Homo-oligomer: A and B are copies of this chain.
């Protein structure tokens, strides 16, 4: 079954505001087995909104509008929906009385303008608003089709949806189980990954596969629908196993956890301590590691050695080595890792040095990065050359360092 969500409000068409109600509604609808197939944002414009509602109800079984139910002239959802459906608005004195009572309880007099909220679409059911004045509306269009008008403020919308709409929707949505698997992959360009795995997942419409790419980090979401738990899990396993076979070691997470959490869990299980030395990433690596609650159980800290002087003074990297190899080199990355392990007595030391740009300080091209991991089993280094701006290179460098650490922890 398909749903569409229409967010109403001119403020959602400014650079300052984004519609977040639809994220909550999508989560709830997916849990019922309903797909959200389109979302729209429309300003406080009766004609445009009527048009959007007409289009949505013509093609989807569940249509939800959010916002525009308040008391001001700007609030045009009721009128627009009446236009779209060709139905009348009916005044409900009992709703007006309830709004007035609410104001009284708050020790205030109801402004006349609030009466606007007592108009309900012909054939609709009013939905109580426990957190505000504007009632929602449940408008059955036919046996398996419904239009829902919800208030805009999240704290009014959420309880109304959970309490009054979910149970009603359950009666019209065919029962269905949904199971999700979330793989995460490091160190692979999206196009390479997709070329590898799309021949697999394209063969299946269930589970549905979505590939989400961020710099150095790709998520693969498999979503299976079925009548039973077992069948949904079987579908996930069937497709998931083929994807795992193709991606192998590139997969770092099978439950959606970020790389820093995966690494943290492995360190904690092993009872090992980690320390870092960062040059070009300037704290980004440590910041990710310490974003995980409980990081103090395996992360000691380390060194920010942004200048050559700091590499020498804080980590004991020799001036001659920097002179000879430049600060962005295998030898310096290794010397940094050795320096940090010596000074912190951590079991694992990670070092990153590189040129993030926009200009090169070391003479190496912008985008050159060396990472080193010194473990009880020895030293490993990796070199990369990336294109992109400063932010992207720093993100990729931190990701590469974490991923080398992850692979070192997995393959000891």
Interface residues of A (CB under 8 A from B): 10-20, 23-24, 26-27, 30, 35-43, 45, 48, 52, 55, 70-74, 105-108, 111-114, 131, 133, 155, 189-192, 194-195, 198, 202, 210-212, 221, 276, 278, 281-291, 293, 295-296, 299-307, 309-310, 313-314, 343-344, 357-359, 361, 385-392, 394
Q: Does A306 lie within 8 Å of B314, measured CB to CB?
A: no
Residues of chain B within 8 A (CB-CB) of A14 are 26, 30, 210, 221
Sample 13 A-B pairs with CB under 8 A, ordered by A number: A13-B37, A15-B210, A18-B18, A72-B190, A72-B194, A106-B385, A106-B386, A112-B195, A282-B286, A282-B287, A282-B289, A286-B304, A301-B304
Q: What is the bound-complex CA distance between A74 and B194, given in angstroms?
A: 10
Copies in the complex: 2
Residues of chain B within 8 A (CB-CB) of A302 are 303-304
Minimum distance in angstroms from A217 CB to a CB of chain B:
13
Besides A38-B42, A282-B291, A310-B344, 20 more A-B contacts (Cβ < 8 Å) are: A14-B26, A14-B221, A15-B26, A16-B23, A38-B40, A38-B43, A38-B48, A70-B191, A105-B387, A108-B189, A155-B389, A278-B286, A282-B295, A286-B306, A293-B358, A293-B359, A296-B307, A300-B309, A301-B314, A304-B304
Q: Does B191 lie within 8 Å of A72, measured CB to CB?
A: yes
Known: A26-B14, A388-B155. A305 touches B310 (CB 8 A): no
Return the contact of A306 from the options B15, B296, B310, B343 (Cβ within 8 A): B296
Known: A41-B40, A283-B286. A72 touches B211 (CB 8 A): yes
Minimum distance in angstroms from A216 CB to a CB of chain B:
13
Q: What is the bound-complex CA distance between A105 and B365, given in angstroms?
A: 13
Q: What is the bound-complex CA distance between A195 and B73, given in angstroms?
A: 10
Q: Does B290 lie within 8 Å of A287, measured CB to CB?
A: no
Residues of chain B within 8 A (CB-CB) of A16 are 23, 210, 212, 221
Q: Does B300 lie within 8 Å of A303, measured CB to CB?
A: no
Q: What is the bound-complex CA distance between A190 and B132, given in angstroms?
A: 12
Q: What is the bound-complex CA distance between A314 and B314, given in angstroms?
A: 9
Residues of chain B within 8 A (CB-CB) of A299 are 282, 306-307
